[in-house]
Amino acid sequence: MNPPQEHKMSSVRAVFFILGVLFLLLLLADLLLGSVIVPLKQIFLSIFSSEGSNATFRTIILEFRLPKAITAILTGAALSVSGLQMQTVFRNPLAGPFVLGISAGASLGVALFVLGFSSVFAFGVVTLTGAWPLAIVAWIGSFLVMLLVLYVSTRVNDIMTILILGILFTSAVSAIVSILQYFSNESMLKAFIIWTMGSLGSVTNAQLSVMAPAIILGIILAFFKIKDLNAFLLGENYARSLGVKIISSRIIIFLSTSLLAGTITAFCGPIGFIGIAVPHICRVIFKTSNHLVLVPAVILTGSIVMLFSDIVSQLPGMQTTLPINSVTAIIGIPIIMWMIIKNKKFASVS
């Protein structure tokens, strides 16, 4: 390794170390802050030892705040990796699960299952079906939209047209969901409206036991395709000349994206802007387009952004919690606006 490369690797390791420290601090703050301030000592006692811990604080930490913090970490990692993969495959800095309609596809699957099912069966029957059916319909919805986007991308080369079509897919899905809402009963409609606002605190332990393995599998698939993602940056023809099997590689990347975006949408609601903003933040911080660095970087940075968003949404010291979707929008929109203004710099993801 020559001196410039060694210097660059030292910088990358230093940035990872700083982000790691920031991650631990925000994780601790997320457990500490809320409507009730939990003493730092009680956090460690509750997690690592039952002896000497206050029963109330232990319940708050283990039953509510720790699962919510884990959900925030998984959400940030999943949406950021799926956004990075879409920006690379479509070679478009504005691509992401929310913009391309992938999250909308997962929302449609959930809406058809929850609202459509509730119009035929009682509310109790739907709630008893468990976490797996909810996740499966979200995966199917997101994967079908991904296949539709893939089909369009093979016929239309203009990336802006593909983005506009993605927005049209989202509008069409919203129209179908509106019709389902119109015919659904009052209790399911209220539950669905709250779900669309996004929430990290409503994920149950049973849902977390489905969510975590699905996201870990999606991230493993992303790591497995790092070499192909780097090749896609140079164009399909060049990637093919390097021995990349374009179709099979795309299918695996799309499966990974559907798993990641679909799982988050199913259990936390449609959460926007993280998938677009975080990959760009990492490219600026790490000054590289190498996915061997970017994939772990977006996992760490996405987790940090979601932990910070969760702390803000809790309004520490107050009894009210803001919808997480609103907080991520406030954080993500200025970054996207800055990206558009600096279009010359971000015209390419390579």
Residue ranges covered by each domain of the chain: 5-339
Tell me the pLDDT band of 15, cut-offs 50, 70 and 90: very high
Whether 121 shows a pLDDT value over 60: the answer reads no
- Of the chain, the percentage scoring pLDDT greater than 70 comes to 86
In this model, does residue 25 exceed pLDDT 90?
yes
User: What is the spatial distance between Cα 159 and Cα 325, in angstroms, rounded to a whole number?
Assistant: 27
The dihedral of CA 180, 321, 213, 46: what is its sign?
negative
Question: pLDDT at residue 207 above 60?
Answer: yes
Q: How confident is the prediction for the chain on average, in pLDDT?
A: 80
> For position 125, what pLDDT does the model report?
47
What DSSP line would sit under 178-203, residue for residue? HHHHHHS-HHHHHHHHHHHT--STT-
In this prediction, what percent of the chain has a pLDDT beyond 90? 17
Higher local confidence (pLDDT), 119 or 42: 42
Rounded to whole angstroms, the Cα distance separating 306 from 68 reads: 11
**pLDDT tens digit sequence for 327-347:** 888 877 787 777 667 655 544
Q: What is the pLDDT of residue 129?
A: 54
d(CA 115, CA 345): 44
| CATH code of the domain made up of 5-339 | 1.10.3470.10
In this model, does residue 304 exceed pLDDT 70? yes
Separation between Cα atoms, residue 322 and residue 299, nearest integer Å:
24
Model confidence at 117, pLDDT cuts 50, 70, 90, reads low
